[in-house]
Amino acid sequence: MNKIKSGEDSKKFHKNCFACGKNSPIGLKLKYLLCGNTLTSEFKIPDNYQSYDDIVHGGIISTILDSSMVNLFYKRDGLKLKTAKLNIIFRKSVPINRSFVVTAIADDNARHFYKANAQIKIGDTVFAEAEGYFRR
């Protein structure tokens, strides 16, 4: 079973993660807030993660969406899940050095997998969204 055991240091599991780990010298260091079935994080991506001029690289956007959904189940249920399938729609280019919010919401109706959806937004504008399936 991949569930966090009582007393295990929950920060230890992700400490070197590129997306959310505190120990990664080149990482994004995302900080998540869990409220029920929803996880959020506000972030700003610096220019060393760009692809085209002033645009965040799509791989970084994918990483943020994926990490947010995985962390949702980790923080909510203590599950150490791995990505099985990730579908991403890039609606608008994500500009460098702007404040964004990523939101991940659990969809507990999936069979045989853990499923979630995530969006990256400024206000009501969706820049990217994802649907992810995760397994133990």
pTM of the model: 0.87
Question: Could you give the domains of the chain?
Answer: 33-135 (3.10.129.10)
pLDDT per residue of the chain (136 residues) written in tens, 0 to 9: 344 433 344 456 678 788 887 887 887 888 999 998 999 999 999 889 999 999 999 999 999 999 999 999 999 999 999 999 999 999 999 999 999 999 999 987 777 899 999 999 999 999 999 999 999 8
Write out the H or E segment, with its range, that includes residue 130. Answer: strand 125-135
